[in-house]
Amino acid sequence: MERTRTLSEFLRNGRLGGLSFGSSKADVRGLLGPARGPLALVWDYGALEVAFDGEAVRTITLRFDADVRLPRAVALAGWLPTRRTTFREFQRWLAGERIPYRMAIPSDRSLALQAGRAAVRFALDGTRTSLERIQA
């Protein structure tokens, strides 16, 4: 039986099930099947985006720009944020999980932090924040 994966683990080690930095295109295709309109360097799987440097995975991105689920092969258990998750809520969750983080330099349109091995970006709209992506 396969072990349950969580967002906390993804932030800590940058692995998403069988996907990790350096995985080959063949490994990704074998795990997730064909991507939607795969470009040479970026493959789209809905809420998941896999970017390549040549034949190897360079980044794994969880996108929150729509209410789309992760592919079943890399689905996460436990708490998952949504686009409506605020910056403060995410910080509280990180503290509860004991995941160290540091703030990145904010811009007038976004807030970002580095949590474990992942970068987390929130869009700013006035005083409201909305989660955009988590990338390892």
Note the pLDDT tens digit of each residue in 11-46.
Answer: 998 888 888 899 999 999 999 998 887 677 899 898
pLDDT for 98 equals 94
Q: Which residue has the higher pLDDT, 59 or 1?
A: 59
116 pLDDT more than 80: yes
pLDDT for 4 equals 57
Strand, coil or helix: what is 14?
coil
The answer to whether the beta carbons of residues 74 and 48 sit under 8 Å apart is: yes
Closest among 43, 47, 9, 7 to 28, alpha carbons compared: 43
How much is the pTM?
0.85
Contacts of 72 (CB under 8 A, 6+ apart): none
pLDDT for 87 equals 86
| CA atoms of 107 and 101, how far apart (whole Å) | 18
